[in-house]
A = this chain, B = another copy of it.
Amino acid sequence: MANRKPTISDVARVAQVSEATVSRALRGIQSVDPILVARVEAAAERLGYTPNPVAQDLRFGSSRAIGIMVPDLANPYFGRLVRAISRAATAKGYRTLLSDTGENPDEELGALGTLARHVDGVVMCSPRMSDSNLSQAAKLFQPLVMTARLSRGVGITSVAVDSYRDCGELIGQLHKLGHRRLVFVSGPEHSWQNAERARAVIDSGAFGMHCDVVAGGTEIVDGYKAVDLALEANPTVIVAFNDILAIGVYEALRERGVAIPRDVSVASFDDISIAAHLTPALTTVRSPREEIGQRALDALMALIKEEEVPATHSLTAEVVMRESTGPALQIDEQSTRL
């Protein structure tokens, strides 16, 4: 960019002082003769000089940039998260490098390596990375913060909601509404969040919730396709891994003439902006993206300054009950329906 930018020596020549004086004058870091300061400032102004950040980075040994790794920007959830992190970084004078890892978790480690060389630290939103890759990443690239997953024991600072607890909370509320037969439409296979939510689902059997898990995925159609199998279990409520899947579930249920929430309730996770505006409005567990982004960045800044940072920041998501969940059908009602 900016093919022939003026350098500090151009300014020095014009102002007829040394380069060192230009640097001092412009940064106000030491006392310099006001006359010289004025000359330097005038020269810099006239030439349109701004210090070359690459040279500064080399000198300071820091790039004042952070990296963000994100699996899928097309998902508004990650879009919001990236925005939150990026803004927090900008507020601290850091730039943001983005790395979209796409569908292949295998390349993540390599992409991280490339990214890491250019930045002072990385925030990973990589819920699907395997534990072994994760701990290897932790060894190789240190100022590192995870989001979208709590990684206890791997030695990576992580900021995320406790998906197990939050899912349990949701199921508890569904239980109060009388639901006893639940189907969970799962998310991406290796996702930590998915594992946690599925675990919560299964554990809820302890208080009398009959649960099944059917395979979902990451796209709307994955939710759509899961519905046939889900309905075989005769559920009173379907819980999807996230709002994207729930949209597919909505569509499939509607096509089959199953009314929400009269016949089957639907709930999911994330609370992307569309959730509240679907018909019926979707019950979902809102994860505090802005807060996650802010806390993740704070933790990263602390790590960069080599301060002590708690290993895990566990945030609380909020169950937002909307119209897609209602009282469970009684058994006899349900059988007449079929």
Contact = CB atoms under 8 A, between A and B. Distances in A.
Q: How many copies does the complex hold?
A: 2
A251 B220 CA distance: 20
A99 B94 CA distance: 11
Interface stretch (A55-63, A127-135, A147-155, A177-185): A55-63
A274 interface: yes
Interface in A140-170: 140-143
B79 A116 contact: no
A1 B116 contact: yes
A50 B140 CA distance: 13
A262 interface: no
Interface residues of A, number: 58
Contacts of A247: 274, 277
A2 B142 contact: yes
Interface of A: 1-3, 50, 52-55, 57-58, 63, 65, 68, 72-76, 78-80, 82-83, 86-87, 90, 95-100, 102, 114-122, 140-143, 219-220, 224, 247-248, 250-251, 254, 273-274, 277, 279
Nearest to A143: B1
A251 B323 CA distance: 13
Given A2-B142, A54-B58, A74-B76, A95 B96 contact: no
A224 B277 CA distance: 9
Contacts of A102: 87
Contacts of A279: 250-251, 254, 279
28 contacts: A1-B119, A1-B121, A1-B122, A1-B141, A1-B142, A2-B141, A3-B142, A50-B117, A52-B58, A53-B118, A54-B54, A54-B57, A54-B63, A68-B98, A73-B82, A73-B83, A74-B76, A75-B76, A76-B76, A82-B98, A82-B100, A96-B97, A219-B273, A220-B274, A220-B277, A251-B279, A254-B279, A274-B274
B117 A1 contact: yes
B100 A83 contact: yes
Contacts of A273: 74, 219-220
Nearest to A1: B116
Nearest to A273: B220
Contact of A117 (B2, B90, B250): B2
A90 B110 CA distance: 12
